[in-house]
Chain A
């Protein structure tokens, strides 16, 4: 999700940090409620749903794992697919680490909160102090909304017949909302189409869940034009 810092501010303050952080938190809140409902309906429980949101704390990966389990996929394919999806957090860590110096303990703690929203909010700020504040304010907002939302969804989740109300479609609807901002470049669009084709083409032959893992191979197309262009860089 993107966040914009429209105004340059003199000195250090929270202007333009708290507002967007809360707005992002609210968007995440809706995903979190859906996640709680879907998690308990996929054979999870309130404690398991909460452990996911408190400990895993990376939304797309959590949705992915629950989606694969709900479809009857193996635990291995659920975990591998979710971790492939979470690998981008390693890239985000490299991007935000220079702005969050400190002891090893401090950096390990900060790493847990390094996700799409905190990274986006940190990188758009215009001073080191604002970057550090934006990271932690956004982390607090997202972590709070994400876990409260998960709890609400998990508590009410068992009272829904997911098929009857079409709640199973909350999975693809959430994924559409998550992927849309990523499809800005030609290569990302090709990766998306490729992933979709690979998934459908391999579904009849591979164990349930495996097509999701295999579809990640499409990301290797990043190397094709990049090798020609990156001569100068």
Chain B
């Protein structure tokens, strides 16, 4: 990770915050724009989950990471504390790797 990435990301993230808070402020976004932006996190986070669990480079694959994902989904569904969800998911994947 380069410093360029860090600094461009920092500037961009700050610009978005200032854009909404200070520039748009009282005027409000058009409701359609607001509705689309509100849905972006759900789409992107689910895409990231797929990438981090089922892909390796350009290949699709099912491996020990899938076990960790199943544990994480179950933990979040059962309202297990977040720290424990992350730890249990990592442990499940680690053990699966060790025995396979």
**B10's contact among A55, A96, A183, by CB below 8 Å, is which?**
A55
CB neighbours of A55 from chain B (8 A): 6-7, 10, 13-14
Interface residues of B in 81-97 (CB under 8 A from A): 82-83, 85-86, 89-97
Interface, chain B (partner A; CB < 8 A): 1-10, 12-14, 16-22, 24-26, 28-29, 31-32, 34-55, 57-60, 64-65, 68-69, 71-73, 76-77, 82-83, 85-86, 89-97
Main SS at interface, chain A? helix
The reply to whether A219 and B39 contact each other, CB–CB distance below 8 Å, is: yes
CB neighbours of B54 from chain A (8 A): 200
- In angstroms, Cα B28 to Cα A204, docked, is 40
Count CB-based A-B contacts (< 8 Å): 319
State the Cβ distance, A120 to closest chain B Cβ, in Å.
14
Q: Which of A12-20, A102-110, A126-134 contacts B (4 or more CB under 8 A)?
A: A102-110
A56 at the interface (CB under 8 A from B): yes
Known: A61-B13, A64-B48, A67-B48. A30 touches B36 (CB 8 A): no
CB neighbours of A205 from chain B (8 A): 58
Known: A66-B1, A71-B51. A89 touches B22 (CB 8 A): no
Interface residues of A in 69-93 (CB under 8 A from B): 69, 71-72, 75, 78-79, 81-93
**A191's contact among B7, B39, B76, B90, by CB below 8 Å, is which?**
B39
Give 18 new A-B contacts, CB below 8 A, not counting A169-B53, A183-B42. Answer: A27-B82, A55-B13, A71-B52, A79-B9, A81-B44, A90-B37, A108-B18, A108-B22, A114-B20, A166-B90, A169-B72, A172-B89, A182-B42, A196-B46, A200-B50, A208-B57, A215-B44, A221-B39
**A90's contact among B17, B48, B65, by CB below 8 Å, is which?**
B17
